[in-house]
Amino acid sequence: MIIIIVAAFVSALLQFTLMQSGQVITLNPGYLYYVNFTVPSGAYSISITGSYVSGGDVNAAVIFASEFSIVESNPSTMANGLWYSGNNTGATISVSLSQGSYTLIFYNSNLITRDTISVVDAITVTYSG
């Protein structure tokens, strides 16, 4: 007697939202807005995507969470992150990640002007696991 066993491995596509579409945040001059998030162990094919517009020039970045204190004390170092928007009025975020802890940061480098950021496409983390 021959027994054949076929095993199917089904991978679920999972997602969590960091910022909702239509969400608006206001950044005072020189201030940061940030969201910490962790991609669970066992996850693969990981990405963060979304888009935003702002009323003035704003910097945005995705960094390792362990680098947050450095960026908080010297925001110009966010340019060394995993993804960096530059100083502009909006961007599309599309970054591949691995398992670990990260921070999404928005920074208003203006010295005088308050800026408003509006999320256009929800900023989400998607992965298989």
pLDDT tier at 12 (50, 70, 90 boundaries)? confident
Q: Which H or E run contains 69?
A: helix 68-73
Strand, coil or helix: what is 73? Answer: helix
pLDDT of residue 7: 52
Higher pLDDT, 8 or 109: 109
Question: What average pLDDT does this structure show over 115-129?
Answer: 95
What mean pLDDT is reported for the chain? 92
The tens digit of pLDDT for each residue in 58-74 reads 999 999 999 999 999 99
For 45-104, the pLDDT digits (tens) are: 999 999 999 999 999 999 999 999 999 999 999 999 999 999 999 999 999 999 999 999
Longest CA–CA separation in the chain, Å:
81
Q: Where are the domains of the chain?
A: 13-128
- What pLDDT, on a 0 to 100 scale, did the predictor assign at position 111? 83
Return the pLDDT at 34.
97
Length of the chain: 129
What's at 44, amino acid-wise?
Answer: Y
3-state secondary structure of 48: strand
Fold of 13-128: Jelly Rolls (2.60.120)
Judged on CB neighbours under 10 Å (0-12, 13-18, 19+), 103 is buried
**What tens digit of pLDDT does each residue of 31-48 get?**
999 999 999 999 999 999
Ramachandran category for residue 50: left, alpha or beta (phi over 0 → left; psi -120 to 50 → alpha): left
Q: Residue 20: what are its φ and ψ, rounded to 5°?
A: -75, 150
What is the helix, strand, coil percentage profile of the chain, to 5?
Answer: 10, 55, 30
Query: What is the per-residue pLDDT for 108?
Result: 94
